Amino acid sequence: MGRVTLDPHYAKVSPTALRPGDLVLYDTCPQGGCPYKHVVMYLGADTSGAEWMLHTNSCGDVAKVERFWGFPNEGSHTFLVARRVLALPGEKVVGSAGMPLRPAKPAAPRSDGASGAIG
């Protein structure tokens, strides 16, 4: 059986060196039978130290922010590898999207009793 070369944009990352935006792959079917693996995007830690991830439970599902699973060696979410998407030499990154780890606080009530909502 031939080997498939991994796209050079995906660099292997040590679990201790994870940064927001890195991809973490898990085997969610340790007994076998799954033709795919589960990929999550690591979002980082909030001010309390809790770590978060973004993922879906199935194709076509809405993405969810949940507590990061970590790096278990067995069980229903067995850690396989972490990868970082990188620009190759000569490629230009034209933009980046910052993502808050926590939702913005709701606006404080106005002293005149208005809701502060627009529209």
pLDDT of 59-88, one tens digit each?
788 999 999 999 887 767 888 889 998 888
The single residue listed with the structure tokens 């973490």 is 24
Residue 12 domain-assigned? no
The pLDDT of residue 19 is 94
Q: With respect to residue 75, please indicate whether it lies within any of the assigned structural domains.
A: yes
pLDDT in the model for residue 60: 82
Task: Give domain status of residue 103, yes or no.
Answer: no
Domain extent, residue 30, equals 18-84
Q: Looking at residue 96, what is its pLDDT?
A: 62
Domain count within the chain: 1
Place of tokens 């031939």: 2
Which stretches of the chain drop beneath a pLDDT of 70? 1-6, 30, 32-33, 35-36, 75, 95-119
pLDDT on residue 2: 59
- Please indicate, yes or no, if residue 1 is contained in any of the structural domains: no
pLDDT of residue 117: 39
Residue 60's DSSP bridge partners are none
Where on the phi/psi map is residue 80: left (φ > 0), alpha (ψ -120 to 50), or beta?
Answer: alpha
Give backbone dihedrals phi and psi of 25, rounded to 5 degrees, phi first. -105, 135
Give a yes or no: residue 109 inside a domain. Answer: no
Query: Is residue 108 in a domain?
Result: no
What is residue 105's predicted lDDT score, i.e. its pLDDT? 47
Look at residue 110 and tell me if it is in a domain: no
DSSP letter (8 states) at residue 112: T
Question: According to the model, what pLDDT value does residue 98 have?
Answer: 58
**Residue 63 belongs to a domain:** yes
Tokens of 2: 């031939």
